[in-house]
Amino acid sequence: MLAEWMGYAASLFLILSLSVTNSLKFRWLNAAGCAFFVVYGALLGAIPVLLTNGILLAINIYYLVSIYRYSEKFDLLSFRADDQVAHQFIDYYEKGIKDYFPHFKREQIGHDQCINFFVLRDMAIANMFSASITPAGEAIVHINFTVEKFRDYKVGRYIFKQEKQYLRDRGIQKIVYQQMPNRKHIEFLKVMGFVQEGDYWVKLI
């Protein structure tokens, strides 16, 4: 009975690993599936299953170690409201942006006292951020959209921790989300240290 449940768990993790686009999540899920299959093979005395998945587990561990040791280069790149790249980004990721920020309108990036930037990750555009800065030092977020394959919290930590001084230098004392219907992004906000105040999510800088 135990072996059967190990087999089910292994199959589930391997299926889940094939459903994600993030390489880190893929490696963790795939490694978990292989580990369960190793136990499954050991319980049944199935040496080929044990051996094959033991090798695959070792490969996954190798790549996980490589991922965590690899030092990515992050940069901020400001953009203007008439920047063609910004509009191409919005057009290309239109569906994803609507899912996460259904109230976002591209005209918002042209508001007065607006801070607009891309986050580059090894020179690839990983995130678009835009917010209006109030006289009280609140940055009202219009969009903070991260490309799916980069959703491992590194972009968020870069913006809100490593580049905290960049935000402060622009008069920002608090980041405010006035509308956030997307549950996945709410989980992201919690990890980043945002707290809920009524209908708003806020973080002091």
Same domain, 86 and 156: yes
Domain's final residue, options 69, 95, 121? 69
23-44 vs 2-17: helix crossing angle, rounded to 10: 160
Range of the domain at 187: 74-204
CA distances from 10 to 6, 59, 174 (A): 6, 16, 44
Q: Are residues 51 and 87 in the same domain?
A: no
CA distance 115 to 106: 14
This prediction has a pTM of 0.75
* Chosen domain end from 69, 96, 115: 69
DSSP state of 42: H
Q: Could you give the number of structural domains in the chain?
A: 2
CATH number at residue 127: 3.40.630.30
Q: Are residues 101 and 170 in the same domain?
A: yes
pLDDT in tens, 28-54: 999 999 999 999 999 999 999 999 999
Residue with tokens 């190990």: 6
pLDDT tens-digit series, residues 122-147: 999 999 999 999 999 999 999 999 99
One domain for residues 192 and 94:
yes
Q: Which residue has the tokens 């899912």?
A: 99
- CB atoms under 10 Å from CB of 128, counted, come to 25
Q: Please tell me whether residues 21 and 8 are part of one structural domain.
A: yes
